[in-house]
Amino acid sequence: MTSTASPPSSAIAASSTRKRAAETDTILPTKKKSKREKVSSQKQDARPTEVKKAETTSLDDSFAHMDAALLSDHVARKAKYFERKLTDLELEDKFIPEAAWHDTSSWDPRRDLDHLGDYLEHFCPARGKKSGLAWAPNAQGAPHTLMITGAALRAADLSRVLRRFKTKDASVAKLFAKHIKFKEAEQLVRSSRIGIAVGTPTRVLDLIQAGALSTEHLQRVILDASYQDAKQRNMFDMRETFLPLMTLLNLSGLRGRYVDASSKLDLLVY
């Protein structure tokens, strides 16, 4: 009978070593992350989302190129879109005439927060004995300038910029619902001399209809239309802001003054 030769002991040892190494590579557990490493990893994961969110908040530069006729037409088309159930005659009653819009298309700088104060000084000249924007009528709750925007946080940002026109006798009022109850806002307006008021359409409309905010000394209404939210929508794009805005602009105390030379009320778009 023929015998089979056994492999050398050195070859057996080498084979066993390779096998153990392979098994070790296969079952070696992954090192667990420490708590600090986990937190750091979570921050890294969140960073791209934060950047993306910041990038989606922008300005709609198209309004910078619209003259009075284009603005009037743009708002009319938005009204027809959001109020489809109205007849043409009913829509005509809500139409803001071309003569109401102050043409600001000559303004070259971007319509951002940095240029807002200069924009107002350029397009809002003094009337009568009053100089500039840093003053307020003697009556309580009767601003000379009203700025309307689509969101509460945006209104807070605008009011901070407009503090340059605040004096001890002329406040810059923030009029929005977020964190400010209506009764608190009403009391503040009734007890303050206001030069410039900044707010959202619904809150401003409610204060006017409650008799707290007066339009008697109002000289201009500025619409913060260029600002877009995270979904790329401006104040004309959202039903919840556009409809109360149209109600506000068509109040009897305002609408009749758009074309009245003796008590002219300017309508501007920023």
**What are the beta bridge partners of residue 227?**
59
| Residue 267: strand, helix, or coil | strand
Q: What's the mean pLDDT in 34-56?
A: 45
Report the alpha-carbon angle 41-43-49, nearest 5: 120
Whole-prediction pTM? 0.77
pLDDT digits 0-9 by tens, 68-107: 999 999 999 999 999 999 999 999 999 999 999 999 999 9
Query: How far from the centroid of its chain's Cα atoms is residue 31's Cα?
Result: 47
Least confident segment among 28-42, 120-134, 150-164, 247-261: 28-42
What is the residue-wise DSSP string for 139-165? Answer: STT--SEEEE-S-HHHHHHHHHHGGGG
pLDDT of residue 249: 97
Q: Give the pLDDT confidence score for residue 178 in this predicted structure.
A: 80
pLDDT at residue 54, as a whole number:
37
Tell me the torsion sign for CA atoms 139, 144, 145, 148: positive
Q: What is the pLDDT of residue 34?
A: 58
Q: For residues 176 and 204, what is the distance between their CA atoms, to the nearest angstrom?
A: 7
Least confident window among 47-56, 183-192, 206-215, 261-270: 47-56
- Nearest-angstrom CA–CA distance, 104 and 123: 8
Distances (CA, A) of 266 to 110, 231, 257, 260: 21, 30, 9, 10
- Smallest Cα–Cα separation from 158: which of 186, 125, 116, 128? 116
Per-residue model confidence as pLDDT tens digits over 225-265: 999 999 999 999 999 999 999 999 999 999 999 999 889 99
Q: Is it the case that residue 14 has pLDDT exceeding 60?
A: no
Model confidence at 37: pLDDT above 80 = no
Q: Does residue 166 register a pLDDT over 70?
A: yes
pLDDT digits (tens, 9 = 90+) for 139-164: 999 999 999 999 999 999 999 999 99
Residue 35's pLDDT band (cuts 50, 70, 90): low
User: Where do runs of H (alpha helix) occur along the chain?
Assistant: 9-27, 35-56, 68-82, 88-94, 116-123, 152-161, 182-190, 201-209, 239-249, 252-255
Using pLDDT thresholds of 50, 70 and 90, give the confidence band for residue 179: confident
Q: How many contiguous H segments (helices) and E segments (strands) does the chain have?
A: 10, 5
The predicted structure's pLDDT at residue 50: 34
